[in-house]
Amino acid sequence: MAALFELLAATGLRISEAVGLRWSDLALVGEQPHLRVRRAIVKGAEVAPKSRHGARLIPLTPALAAVLEARRPSGAADDAFVFPGRDGGASDQGSLRRRVLVPAAERTGLTGVGFHTLRHTCASMLIESGLSPLRLQRWMGHHSPAFTLDTYGHLIDGDLGPPLDLRKELRAIER
């Protein structure tokens, strides 16, 4: 399950989106590995993403792509779940929480940690890296940039940065 936790933290997927991933949603080889969010598993049922913006493409690092590729069983069908439950169907989120997440959090002395914590961690790190609010909205699959700013705006540095040197910028354009 380490691959699931790494995926959640690195991509900010909702747990319902992660357990709904099928191998056909992943492009793990090539210059730009990525995954495509096409569905979610909610209360055991396959549903469309949470909003029309929820269907999205998320880049993966080559290292995470390799981790995911290494866990694909040989002969796994493209429509097989990436993180299957014991019966081969979608994993049960409640069971994952009880059997995996809560014990792992307890072993490390953390309290109040849920799957959504990994989503917020990803968003926080993307903000820290300088990702624009509009791109963050698209990455997270939110319905609007305003919602993204309401949720994560407190993490955006309030400093306005250096002054705009308009004369320097105009000289650069003239060259």
119 is known as an active-site residue: yes
Q: Strands 56-59 and 34-37: what pairing?
A: antiparallel
**Direct distance between the N- and C-terminal alpha carbons of the chain, in angstroms, rounded to an integer:** 55
**Which amino acid belongs to residue 67?**
V
Choice among 71, 98, 99, 116 that is catalytic: 116
Choice among 38, 52, 71, 152 that is catalytic: 152
What span, in angstroms and rounded, lies between the C-alpha atoms of 24 and 81? Answer: 9
Choice among 14, 50, 71, 143 that is catalytic: 14
Choice among 39, 142, 168, 175 that is catalytic: 142
152 is known as an active-site residue: yes
DSSP secondary structure code for residue 101 in this structure: I
Choice among 36, 39, 43, 168 that is catalytic: 43
14 is known as an active-site residue: yes
99 is known as an active-site residue: no
What span, in angstroms and rounded, lies between the C-alpha atoms of 105 and 147? Answer: 29
Q: Which residues are catalytic?
A: 14, 43, 116, 119, 142, 152
